[in-house]
Amino acid sequence: MSTQRTYRVGELIQQEISAIILRGLRDPRVGFVTITSVDVTSDLRYAKVYFTVMGEDSDASETQQGLDSAVPFLRRELGKRLKLRHVPELVFKYDTSISYGNHIESLLKEAGMGENDEE
């Protein structure tokens, strides 16, 4: 069950991880990453961080490895920036919702149910 506090902490973690990846992460495996959402457990001990990448599935697996190896650094930086008593354990998960949505859209276009081209 998501409370206001877990939602707020999740939003803060999402913003800070995005900023850290953009400015402070030097791993070449981590390229164009977008943090789509963060789900924090009610006891604030664990956070599932969902991400997407531009590119192929192989890019996603390389990015997953890069993010997994950067977890200690990210937790340390989050602790400095957010001043939480306990920084949650970070678990990165590839978010397939965007690629799934694109797949459904392409199927609808093939079936003739997509956007009208009558403009």
Q: Is residue 28 part of a domain?
A: yes
Q: Is residue 117 part of a domain?
A: no
Domain of residue 54, residue span:
4-110
Q: Can you give the pLDDT at residue 98?
A: 77
> Pick from 82, 80, 69, 88: which is nearest to 26 by CA?
69
Whats the size of the chain, residue-wise?
Answer: 119
At how many degrees (to 10) do helices 71-82 and 57-69 cross?
A: 60
Mean pLDDT of 11-28: 92
Question: The pTM is what?
Answer: 0.81
Q: Is residue 118 part of a domain?
A: no
Q: Is residue 119 part of a domain?
A: no
- Per the prediction, the chain carries an average pLDDT of 87
Beta bridge partners of 51: 35, 94
Q: How many domains, in total, are found in the chain?
A: 1
Q: Is residue 73 part of a domain?
A: yes
Q: Is residue 116 part of a domain?
A: no
Q: Is residue 59 part of a domain?
A: yes
What CATH number is given to the structural domain containing 46? Answer: 3.30.300.20
Residues 40-89: pLDDT tens digits?
Answer: 999 999 999 999 988 776 788 899 999 999 999 999 999 999 988 889 99
